Amino acid sequence: MQLATWNINSLTVRLPQVLEWLARNPVDVLALQEIKMTDDKFPAQALADVGYQAQWFGQKTYNGVALLTRTPATDVVKNIPGFADDMARVISATVQGVRVIGAYFPNGQEPGSDKFDYKMNWLKGLRDWIKQELQLHPDLVLMGDFNITFDDADVWDPAALKDTIHCTEEERYHLRALVALGLCDALRLFPVAPKSYSWWDYREFAFRRNRGLRIDHILVSQALRSQVKACVIDKGPRSNERPSDHAPVVLTLDR
């Protein structure tokens, strides 16, 4: 079973890239973030034509998430139950016995801002819910654009970016607290090459110079850990014409 996550940064713009990528990488589940469209605009038929069922939760201009699956997804839930939020950030479902949660974590803008406070509250709400989900669904995968780096190894210039957004101790505390619930970073279950990133700014030739961040993560429950056979960042699509600024991350499970 293969699962992947990709912040597509507008499905309207990059649907052809998603279809092309799926043709080359027929994963069982693809979680998309920042689809940036209302529900009525979602291209369900185009995806069905290539063998994917879709569950989506859209929002005009901003945010928006979707799960594309080759087999039916059941028990679909949108956003974080019990956490009041008017942003379309989370979609979860059960696929082939695995509870899959695709999430677009808040950016936070900058430490000390109202958006940063929202991010902190959102992370707390997510953690409280994931704790409950793990009790109900031991086989669980949480993946998406987390907008947080784990540590300096995830940052192209740790000194220059110290205490900036995505790299603050407050954000990393919440990420560690998520892991402490009984999750693990799938990529780091294997040797990781230095300077392995999943996001690069569009400006200043950042991708060409590999000035990036690893902010797209796949966390797996301890019950699934022994089934993880591979986890890789696919940098290929970042070289496309008019690419997303994020690259897909792909998890392979032995099931």
> Cα Rg for the chain, rounded, in angstroms?
17
Q: 67 with 93: CB under 8 angstroms?
A: yes
The strand ranges marked E within 10-150 are 29-33, 53-57, 65-69, 74-78, 90-95, 98-104, 140-145
**Predicted model pTM:** 0.98
Q: 199 with 249: CB under 8 angstroms?
A: no
CB-based contacts of 160: which residues, under 8 Å, 6+ apart? none
What is the structure's pLDDT at 106?
98
Q: 147 with 166: CB under 8 angstroms?
A: yes
What is the structure's pLDDT at 123?
98
191, 211, 197, 5: which is closest to 90 by C-alpha?
A: 5
Q: Of 28, 52, 139, 145, which residue is the catalytic one? A: 145
CB-based contacts of 26: which residues, under 8 Å, 6+ apart? 51, 70
d(CA 92, CA 141): 10
145 assigned to active site: yes
d(CA 5, CA 90): 13
Q: Model confidence over 166-186: pLDDT tens digits?
A: 999 999 999 999 999 999 999
What is the structure's pLDDT at 250?
98
d(CA 251, CA 62): 27
Interval 69-90 mean pLDDT? 97
Q: Of 52, 104, 139, 154, which residue is the catalytic one? A: 104
d(CA 213, CA 216): 9
197 assigned to active site: no
- Grade residue 71 by pLDDT with cuts at 50, 70 and 90: very high
CATH number of 2-253: 3.60.10.10
d(CA 56, CA 73): 11
Q: Model confidence over 53-65: pLDDT tens digits?
A: 999 999 999 999 9
Domain coordinates of the chain in residue numbers? 2-253
Instruction: Quote the percentage of the chain above a pLDDT of 90.
Output: 100
Q: 252 with 2: CB under 8 angstroms?
A: yes
Q: 67 with 30: CB under 8 angstroms?
A: yes
d(CA 208, CA 205): 5
Please report where in the chains the tokens 């998406």 appear, as a residue: 144
What is the structure's pLDDT at 231?
98
| Residue 255 CA to its chain's centroid (Å) | 21
Please report where in the chains the tokens 């879709």 appear, as a residue: 54
What is the structure's pLDDT at 192?
97
- Residue 166, CB-side half-sphere exposure with 13 Å CA sphere: 23
Backbone angles phi, psi at 246, to 5 degrees: -110, 155
Q: 37 with 13: CB under 8 angstroms?
A: no
Q: 216 with 249: CB under 8 angstroms?
A: yes
Interval 4-11 mean pLDDT? 98
- Grade residue 160 by pLDDT with cuts at 50, 70 and 90: very high
